[in-house]
Structure 1
Amino acid sequence: MKVAAGQGAFSPLTVISLVVIGVLSLAGLGVLSAYAPELKSGNDGGSHGLSKSSVGFGGIVRLLQMTGVPVVLSRGALGTGSEGSLLILTPALTTPPDQIADRQHRGPTLIVLPKWTAVAEQGKPGWVSTVGAIAPSRALAVLPDSIRPGTRIAQKAGVTGPLFTRPAGDVLGPRLALENLQTISGREWIPVVIDDRGAAVVALRRGTQTYVLSDPDLLNTQGLKRVEGAQVAVEILDIVRADGEAVVFDLTLNGFQRTRSLLRLMLEPPLLGVTLVIAALFVVAGLQAGARFGPAREKRRAVALGKQALAENTAGLVRLAQREHRMASPYAVLVRAAVARAIGAPRHLSEAELDAFLDRVGTQTGTGARFSTLATRAAEARTAGDLMAVARDLHRWKLEMTHGHQ
């Protein structure tokens, strides 16, 4: 493809469009990078409030919302207004126990222990298959060191149909068909919900507001596949939750913690105003750079200095006095001296003798003009045009006499 002279490869509109698209793309990338944790759907098959898998708790979150219970999916520290809320922790087997201990909350806390080993299904994002129950000791290992001593976790192999009640005998719902029912016991644990054998599935740590749900199937999506399971799950949460308070599902233990970064701070108040001002300054600087051609010129002095300034000032005075033609004769004298020096003319000659000598040399070398004639024209110059004409002829004569060398 040929490009005409004076034309660029791209039109100005194309260049401006590319610049705008590039700036917007870079800004979008920065915003997405800053808010990436919040933009994750969370439906990864894990055991947390964003997961809709069989071992996840997305079902109970949706159920509570539909029944009018306030639900919060927490990705960071809890505010002061959440002291009466029920905090639900759903640690995985890989969750360090000290993370649970570091989760500060003054209100009731319900820790849901893990029970199943799950693997992701190929070709079905967010789906998992349970391949067996974990050992009770592994489920116990997720509890913090402060409440783990003296705690025992037991599993009953096979499918059972327990009836869950309060210790006083209040029935929570119909019988449920549960596989590998997991229970909790210990001297420091007060039973809150028990099965028909008297084993606790929900217990309160003595002297604290920490509850433990030993069997996650009473709360996860797998347990809510029947109406009976949903009824028991809601009644269990009503026991440990104060009337009218919200339910907070913690997501920080499952890798969805909202992190603080410089980029994120710049995109949120109160630093958002500073970011907008900086962006506006970049836009104005870009417009100025696009409108200006070439490098920025340095500001010149009001009174110039140096030889060039002296010559320019002198020329300005001569031009102001309209005496440019008077410079023709002095210029002819300078040219004569330069040529005489270049061709080696004798130094003892007078001005008239030197003019005659230069005329003889010019005749011998075949120059097109005689210096005496040019000197007479210089003396008779009356306008700036006469000056330029004779100066041009003197320069040509000089080049012919010196053969282009000085």
Structure 2
Amino acid sequence: MARMSASKSHGMFSPMTMLVLVLVGVVSFSGLAVLSAYAPELRKGDDGGGHALSRSSVGFGAISRLLSLMGQPVLTSRGDLPASAEEALLVLTPSAGMSPVPLERNDHIGPTLVVLPKWEARPDPKHRGWVTTFGDNEGAEALSVLPPKLRKDLKVNEAKDKRTVRLRRPSGEAFGAPVTIKGARTLAGPGWTPVLLDQDGGVVMAMRDDSWTYVLADPDYLNTQGLKTADGARTAVAMLNLIRDDGSPVVFDVTLHGFKRTRSLMRLIVEPPLLGATLVAVALALLAGAQAFARFGPPLRSRRAVALGKTALADNTAGLVRLARREHRMARLYARLIQASAARAIGAPRGLDGQDLVDFLDRVSRTVGATHTYSALADRALTASPSDLMAVARDLHTWKQELIRGRQ
């Protein structure tokens, strides 16, 4: 029974099972980290807000989709604009209660269109992405999204009932198609140049005299409920084409609604140019893990903290020599030790010493065909540096072995 239980416990965690668990954990953690880094960009944004990612009645997802289907260049911006969109038409759709929109952006030199908010809405609990409107805001609240310099002396006028609006240019030329809008709004104030008027002369869209900034009084000309008819869609597209250059893109900014692309260390290491360094680091980690998983040699035996016998004596002596920085002086003494040992091993005459013994050993070295002569090795030992000690000692030992085998 004891033998059976031992065999079962031994097979409970096999090396292959542990390897699979480690791989699954690494892959899962890596996927979670990458998804966390790109989580803001993976959000669809269809939350019913008044922005270009929303498909609700007060959102602007329909006009963005329509322009894309028509083959027009359109971009939903979550951060800095690319170089190709610096001169694009930037469309800002702030919601009521937001801070004044930032009109000065270093990455944008083209026209900017600010669509004033109008409707008070809340999410529909029965349908995700839908909203329920329960009235419109006050004109002063709609103008609060503009910087103080722009909203000074500017007023918003509102019609009471639903009516059909026929737009025209300041020259009197008809523009677009008639659209039906409930509580249509217009602008009035000094310092603004009318761009589009309604049939009563009210300013629907105006441009600031001292900047390339346009303001649209009523969002129902561009939002989803304004595009529910073909005439509304044609008028919306014509309105955007009027204030942008031919071929330039239309950029809908959604950073005002919390969809800004943020900087993070995780995104930095998984995107060029640091992606190559990250892949190299991952490969090195995998190789190190494989090397640690598969043992490539016998395990090291545990040693005593304080060695005993000859080992302790040799270690202490070597430590003292190293501490005194006299390693290079050991080569000459080791050469003399090898000289005496080789002379005894090959049976050299006892009366020889000094230079006579050196000459004798050199003659024997040449006779047996040794790689080196003792005199050459002795000269190397005299001038050896600490980094040359091992090479000199190895050559002296090899020379001694060659002499012994040659004489035998």
TM-score scaled by structure 1?
A: 0.71
Indicate the residue corresponding to 1:145 in structure 2: 148
Contact 2:87 2:108 in 1 (8 A): no
Indicate the residue corresponding to 2:96 in structure 1: 93
Give the alignment of 1:7-406 within 5 angstroms: 7-97=10-100, 99-101=102-104, 105-292=108-295, 297=300, 306-307=308-309, 309=311
Q: CA deviation at 1:102?
A: 5.2
Query: In 2, distance between residues paired with 1:298 and 1:11?
Result: 25
TM-superposition CA deviations, 1:52-77 (whole Å, max 9, x none)? 11111110011111112100111111
Contact 1:100 1:253 in 2 (8 A): no
Q: CA deviation at 1:86?
A: 0.6
Query: In 2, distance between residues paired with 1:295 and 1:35?
Result: 46
Q: CA deviation at 1:153?
A: 1.4
Q: CA deviation at 1:81?
A: 2.9
Q: CA deviation at 1:173?
A: 2.8
Query: In 2, distance between residues paired with 1:296 and 1:64?
Result: 69
Q: CA deviation at 1:311?
A: 11
Task: Look at both structures and tell me which one has the larger radius of gyration over its CA atoms.
Answer: 1
State the one-letter code of the partner of 1:287. Answer: A
Q: CA deviation at 1:2?
A: 5.1
Q: CA deviation at 1:292?
A: 2.6
TM-superposition CA deviations, 1:244-265 (whole Å, max 9, x none)? 1111111111111111111111
Change (3 A) 1:309 1:219: same
State the one-letter code of the partner of 1:166. Answer: R
Change (3 A) 1:218 1:283: same
Q: CA deviation at 1:309?
A: 2.9
Q: CA deviation at 1:289?
A: 1.7
Cα RMSD over matched residues?
A: 2.6
SS at match of 1:190: strand
Indicate the residue corresponding to 2:326 in structure 1: none
Q: CA deviation at 1:103?
A: 7.1
State the one-letter code of the partner of 1:248. Answer: V
Q: CA deviation at 1:80?
A: 3.3
Change (3 A) 1:74 1:310: closer
Q: CA deviation at 1:106?
A: 0.9
Q: CA deviation at 1:45?
A: 0.7
Change (3 A) 1:77 1:298: farther
Q: CA deviation at 1:299?
A: 11
TM-score scaled by structure 2?
A: 0.71
Query: In 2, distance between residues paired with 1:8 and 1:216?
Result: 70
SS at match of 2:147: coil
Contact 2:176 2:234 in 1 (8 A): yes
Query: In 2, distance between residues paired with 1:183 and 1:103?
Result: 31
Identity %: 48
Q: CA deviation at 1:298?
A: 8.4
Q: Where does the alignment leave 5 or more consecutive residues of structure 2 unmatched? A: 315-408
How many residues are treated as equivalent by the alignment?
A: 309
Indicate the residue corresponding to 1:321 in structure 2: none
State the one-letter code of the partner of 2:172. Answer: G
Give 4+ residue runs of structure 1 displaced > 6 Å after superposition: 293-296
Indicate the residue corresponding to 1:377 in structure 2: none
TM-superposition CA deviations, 1:352-385 (whole Å, max 9, x none)? xxxxxxxxxxxxxxxxxxxxxxxxxxxxxxxxxx
Q: CA deviation at 1:232?
A: 0.8
SS at match of 1:174: coil
Query: In 2, distance between residues paired with 1:82 and 1:248?
Result: 8
Q: CA deviation at 1:295?
A: 10
Q: CA deviation at 1:181?
A: 0.8
SS at match of 1:146: helix
